Amino acid sequence: MILSARFEDALIYASRLHARQVRKGNGVPYVSHLLGVCSLVLEFGGDEDQAIAALLHDAVEDQGGDATRQEIRRRFGERVAAIVDGCSDSDTMPKPPWKPRKEAYIASLRKATVDVRLVSAADKVHNVRTLTADYRQLGETLWSRFRGGKEGTLWYYRELVRTFWDTGPQPIADELAQAVEDLEMLVSR
């Protein structure tokens, strides 16, 4: 597959939306996460719309709510907007309480399209890999970054693995399972 100018437009748009955002706790430019998720989507067989949604998967949640949603719909179409919506667990500030928000997100994935599940799983794989790398550097202090703490964060990723496995075979679900297993083995040492 050859990516079009539409993908390039999405890359620029995502870079600008998240230009002042960094990853939680480590200061890495947020665009690195978006590129990582996009890379995983493409490596696991995603098409251009799915790759664009991967670049924009946090835009509604973190960069403007409904106004950003409408701009994504206008620029990249209904399918991309629907994937982004399916990957968002909240579009309000402040965000609702952590545990009910995560439970609702997990429940939504059980009914989600294959498009949403691919981008969401890629997002979670990248997040868990980052957690693992950060844990190697920071140890137990890492968990103070997260509202769910260590137990809540591990619970969330375990539930996501179950959900992705339950909703149909996807090789990326196996990738997420392996990443979560690697993290759990590391933190249990």
> Residue 169 has what pLDDT?
67
Domain ranges of the chain: 5-187
Phi, psi of 58 (to 5 degrees): -105, 5
Structure confidence by residue, pLDDT tens digits, 113-141: 999 999 999 999 999 999 999 999 999 99
Pick the catalytic residue from 61, 85, 115, 175: 61
Q: What is the mean pLDDT of residues 62-72?
A: 88
Q: What is the mean pLDDT of residues 165-169?
A: 84
Distances (CA, A) of 144 to 37, 62, 135, 140, 175: 24, 20, 11, 8, 26
Q: 3-state secondary structure string, 1-41?
A: CCCCHHHHHHHHHHHHHCCCCECCCCCCECHHHHHHHHHHH
> Residue 131 has what pLDDT?
94
Report the candidate in 145, 128, 122, 112 with the shortest Cα–Cα distance to residue 34: 122
CATH class of the domain whose range is 5-187: mainly alpha
Task: Note the Cα 140 to chain centre separation in Å.
Answer: 23
Q: What is the mean pLDDT of residues 46-69?
A: 92
Q: Is the pLDDT of residue 63 over 70?
A: yes
Q: Is the pLDDT of residue 151 over 80?
A: yes
Place of tokens 């179950």: 162
Structure confidence by residue, pLDDT tens digits, 70-99: 999 999 999 999 999 999 887 767 778 889
Q: How far apart are CA 27 and CA 38, in angstroms?
A: 20
Pick the catalytic residue from 48, 58, 62, 175: 62
User: Which residues, other chains included, contact 29 with Cβ-Cβ below 8 Å and sequence gap of 6+?
Assistant: 18, 21, 22, 23
Q: What is the mean pLDDT of residues 108-114?
A: 95
Q: Is 140 a catalytic residue?
A: no
> Residue 106 has what pLDDT?
96
> Residue 181 has what pLDDT?
97
Q: What is the mean pLDDT of residues 23-36?
A: 88
Q: Which bin fits 187, alpha (ψ -120 to 50), beta or left (φ > 0)?
A: alpha
Q: What is the mean pLDDT of residues 36-40?
A: 98
> Residue 156 has what pLDDT?
97
> Residue 21 has what pLDDT?
77
Q: Is 66 a catalytic residue?
A: no
This prediction has a pTM of: 0.94
Both tokens assigned to 89 = 């667990």
Q: What is the mean pLDDT of residues 98-106?
A: 92
Q: How far apart are CA 71 and CA 159, in angstroms?
A: 32
